[in-house]
Amino acid sequence: MDVDDLQLAQNGNKEAINQMIVTYQQSVFNLCYRMLGETTEAEDATQEALVKAVLNLHTYDTERPFKPWLLRIASNECIDRIRRRRPTTSLDGMGEDGAWEWQAGHSPTPEASLLQAEEQTRIRLLLETLPPVERTIITLFYWEGLSYNEIGEITGLTVSAIKSRLFRARRVMATLLVQEESYA
């Protein structure tokens, strides 16, 4: 999506807004899904973030990259939702969000779906051990493939702070992984 389209969207052009949402909705959803761990809540957060982005398009500086700006709105939305949540962690290995049903609809075999669902749950449980900002950094680094500078644009942290937090987050999750395996 180029600057002209974004300027049209800023002026309230419905076609341009539609195109903006189509272009970025999946990236925003990926971030929300990893951060929140539930499909339904991630969809709600994605919609909320995109609507907020549309309503605040006039504050976007077209000289700067659009995606980090949009993902910052989405990550703030997710962080707010995580902070509003009660500290309940599902330990039964299966999400409450119907992830299994979705996977079943898209995977070739039930076994593969089950494995994928288990993997998603495992990752979700690992991510849930992290504070919201670290969760955002891990998500942006691994699944959005953003550079440290881009992650800095979104989180407002310096590159060295991001590296440090990323490593600490990895360490926490690795420790949990070792514990998980030793219990198994």
Asked if 11 is part of the footprint of other proteins (rule: CB under 8 A), the reply reads no
The structure tokens listed for 17 are 């807004």
Q: To the nearest whole angstrom, how small is the minimum distance from the Cβ of residue 50 to other proteins?
A: 5
Is position 178 an interface residue for other proteins (rule: CB under 8 A)? yes
Backbone angles phi, psi at 12, to 5 degrees: 90, 15
Q: Are 8 and 30 in contact (CB under 8 A)?
A: no
d(CA 154, CA 28): 13
CB 120 within 8 A of CB 59: no
Q: Considering only residues 55-114, where is the footprint of other proteins by CB under 8 A?
A: 55, 99, 102-103, 106
Interface pick for other proteins out of 122, 156, 158, 159 (rule CB under 8 A): 122
| Residue selected from 119, 147, 158, 159 as contacting other proteins according to rule CB under 8 A | 119
**6 binds other proteins per the rule CB under 8 A:** no
Q: How many CA atoms lie within 13 A of 17 on its CB side?
A: 14
Q: Does 157 bind other proteins (CB under 8 A)?
A: no
End-to-end Cα, the chain, rounded Å: 48
Residue 3 CB, nearest approach to other proteins (Å): 20
Question: Closest by alpha carbon to 120, among 16, 21, 42?
Answer: 42
User: Which residues would be at the binding site for other proteins (CB under 8 A)?
Assistant: 12, 14, 17-18, 21-22, 25-26, 29-30, 33-34, 39, 42-43, 46-47, 50-51, 54-55, 99, 102-103, 106, 116, 119-120, 122-123, 126, 138, 142-143, 163-164, 167-168, 170-171, 173-175, 177-178
